[in-house]
């Protein structure tokens, strides 16, 4: 049993609190609004944000942030995306070192375009938090009622990802894992733009052709941007990308990753007895990434040397970037600057993009190693 505090008492915060309580954990929920706290204590219900769904009596409710986070194994940040920075600042002096923090808010910061986990790590860097993200096609009221739902959890290391999968998952809440943290966040944030456009198309009485074009081209644009920012293309055709678009439109048609097929076949077909058709497509039908070919030279086949070259950062700043967990080697966060790189390796550099070493092409006259690199667009 873990001691968990959910920071934020909106619909999603309450739904996750109930879910985690059902999983056998010790729960506290926090709200900045004293009146809301009083209402929750008196009625065990947020009638405005999640009506007709009650909090169990043994869940603690508080408006004292220090009390809420004290001696907790996990903090779940369920505040609106616009409040992530201010809440993170408030946590700075009251959380423990290496605190596990799971962000469940979707979005990008308006002024900086930073992801929510970027903001959390930036504001709390002195505490070295272990930050993760939970995202996917999930409506709070359905999770609160125990209706079958799927999500994805992602963190900088596999051990934390698997730990959190076990914390959140139960028979009605299926949690998949992904090493692609930036892709999970970008997919969850940008799909809303396309979902709004699809809703507008419905309001204008446009037909299925228009909606299909919006979704098809929209997910292509999301995946292109996400890959350029360091995400993995397959992420945007999974639960945090296309899956979210599907639930927003009230239909279940699209692309399903192979490792999701059996679960969806067994469970999705029976949700509310609604007819759902799942069509398996060939991999060749998935849009392929465009890329730019780069010719670079390195003094040595070390990760820090490559990162400095690809980012135009100094060797020292490149090393710091690696230390902060901003670089993945073959889809695993790599913090060792001296790690050897080789042809075939995939390198994802947060905010700079995804790269693949295609070929080692001899030496220069000064004995530097010539490499051909693909930078995915």
Catalytic residues: 191
Question: Which residues are within 8 A (CB) of 174 and not within 5 positions of it... i.e. 6 or more apart?
Answer: 148, 149, 150, 151, 263, 267
Report CA 124 to chain centroid distance, whole Å.
19
Q: Which residue has the tokens 């030279």?
A: 297
CA-closest candidate to residue 341, choices 373, 368, 301, 371: 301
43 vs 51, 123, 332, 369, CA distance in Å? 11, 35, 46, 69
Please name the helix (run of DSSP H) or strand (run of DSSP E) that holds residue 214, with its range, or none.
helix 208-228
Are the C-beta atoms of 39 and 16 separated by less than 8 Å? no
DSSP-assigned states of every residue in 172-185: TEEEEEES-HHHHH
């Amino acid at each position: 049993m873990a001691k968990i505090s959910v920071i934020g008492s909106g619909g999603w915060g309450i739904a996750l609190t109930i879910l985690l309580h059902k999983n056998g954990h010790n729960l506290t929920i926090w709200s900045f609004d004293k009146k809301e706290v009083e209402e929750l204590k008196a009625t065990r219900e947020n009638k405005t944000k999640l009506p007709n769904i009650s909090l169990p009596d043994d869940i603690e409710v508080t408006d004292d942030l220090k009390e809420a986070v004290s001696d907790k194994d996990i903090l779940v940040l369920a505040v609106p995306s616009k409040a992530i920075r201010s809440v993170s600042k408030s946590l700075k002096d009251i959380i423990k070192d290496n605190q596990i923090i799971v962000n469940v808010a979707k979005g990008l910061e308006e002024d900086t375009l930073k992801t929510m986990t970027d903001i959390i790590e930036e504001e709390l860097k002195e505490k070295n938090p272990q930050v993760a993200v939970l995202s996917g096609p999930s409506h709070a009221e359905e999770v609160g009622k125990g209706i079958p739902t799927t999500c994805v959890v992602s963190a900088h290391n596999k051990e934390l990802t698997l730990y959190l999968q076990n914390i959140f998952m139960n028979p009605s809440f299926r949690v998949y894992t992904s090493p692609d943290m930036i892709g999970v966040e970008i997919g969850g944030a940008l799909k809303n733009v396309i979902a709004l456009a699809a809703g507008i198309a419905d309001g204008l009485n446009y037909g299925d052709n228009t909606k299909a074009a919006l979704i098809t081209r929209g997910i292509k644009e999301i995946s292109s941007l996400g890959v350029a920012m360091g995400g993995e293309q397959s992420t945007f055709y999974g639960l945090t990308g296309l899956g979210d678009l599907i639930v927003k439109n009230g239909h279940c048609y699209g692309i399903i990753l192979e490792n999701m097929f059996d679960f969806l076949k067994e469970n999705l077909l029976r949700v509310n007895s609604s007819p759902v058709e799942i069509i398996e497509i060939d991999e060749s039908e998935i849009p392929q990434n465009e890329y730019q070919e780069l010719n670079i030279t390195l003094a040595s086949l070390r990760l820090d040397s490559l990162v400095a070259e690809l980012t135009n950062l100094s060797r020292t700043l490149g090393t710091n970037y690696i230390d902060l967990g901003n670089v993945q080697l073959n889809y695993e966060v790599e913090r060792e600057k001296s790690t050897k790189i080789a042809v075939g390796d995939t390198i994802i550099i947060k905010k700079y993009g995804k790269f693949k070493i295609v070929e080692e092409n001899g030496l220069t006259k000064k004995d530097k190693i010539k490499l051909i690199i693909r930078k995915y667009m």
